[in-house]
Amino acid sequence: MEPLVLGIESTCDETGVALVRGTELLADVTASSMDEHARFGGIVPEVASRAHLQAFLPTLTAALDKAGATLDDVDAVAVATGPGLVGSLTVGTAAAKALAVALGKPLYGVNHVIGHAVVDELVHGEFPERTMALVVSGGHTSLLLFEDSGATVTELGHTLDDAAGEAFDKVGRLLGLPYPGGPHVDRLAREGNPQAIPFPRALTAPKDMAKHRYDFSFSGLKTAVARWIEAREDAGEEIPVADVCASFADAVADVLSAKTIAACAEHGVTTLVVGGGFSANSQLRDLIAARGEAAGLDVRIPPLRFCTDNGAMIAALGSKVARTGVEASRLDVGVDSSMSLTSVTA
């Protein structure tokens, strides 16, 4: 029987605990402190850390109950040791170490961002020999090439400034939308005209492609939106919010999907996984699915519940490394807020 892996996620404001056996998800429970951060207009690290302390034991208990399991049934403990907020990572990692020591089971410190891609195995099965993954969230926008069925990861490109989700939240703030702005921008974009405003596509000019072929940049796009809004306000004109959202969202989805599809073609990859919180964005899902199908790709996008931070992604990655014989982490493993995306485990 394959090992039962307990996964712990605490990189930002979600406390997630899940249990996975092989590629079968038995339980996934998440507690979020998002409401506590809303009045500040962003994540407050100290608030997030305290919330993890308060939520961990109830979340762990709920996950075990849902799986019909006890701690004695657990064969390994996996925890996200980076990237993320240092305080939040420390709470989850300390809890994982305590459990591993008490149970006498191996501990796997795993990469949060890579977990966003590997969670897809719980839905569509194990990765083929070579897989491309676009991981997009509030803090990360990365293009990753998985080889050896996921054992080897190469970062082909990343954002040079704002992540896609971060840019959406900032544009939401410019438009006076509630925090977090991303989901509101996405909703309003579906009501607007994506061709209404010709916002720029950064790093797509020939000179940029030569140096940053698979990299992304959204800070300039955010500034272009800000200047467009400011010009209309100075002229006393009403801001067509839905059209601004649609045109902005189309610019982001266009660049993300175009570069990702091109990377698949140039590296001879036929399977594409899209993960991370921003993969819930409807424009990106629709456009990358359509372009992927036209390019003959098998595009795998997990259900929305697996897009945001959750314990299932950590348990899935922990299960993968445990099943493939990766050496367990040392009990003195530390947290790494800027953990390299080529490191699957710590």
Q: Quick: pLDDT tens for 113-130.
A: 999 999 999 999 999 999
Digit-coded pLDDT (tens) for 293-343: 999 999 999 999 999 999 999 999 999 999 999 999 999 999 999 999 989
143 CB neighbour count, 10 Å cutoff: 25
Angle between helices 219-234 and 164-174 (to 10 degrees): 10
The predicted pLDDT at position 80 comes to 98
Contact, 134 vs 260, CB < 8 A? yes
Output the CA torsion sign for 286, 291, 294, 296.
Answer: negative
Q: Do domains 4-119+310-323 and 127-303 have the same CATH topology?
A: yes
CATH topology for 127-303?
Answer: Nucleotidyltransferase; domain 5 (3.30.420)
**Would you list the domain boundaries of the chain?**
4-119+310-323, 127-303
What residue has token string 């069925």?
Answer: 149
Give percent above pLDDT 90 in the chain. Answer: 91
Contact, 133 vs 119, CB < 8 A? no
Q: Does the model's pTM come out above 0.85?
A: yes
CATH code linked to domain 4-119+310-323: 3.30.420.40
Distance spanning both ends of the chain, measured CA to CA: 26
How far CA 243 is from CA of 150, 220, 225, 239, 249, in Å, comes to 40, 19, 11, 9, 10
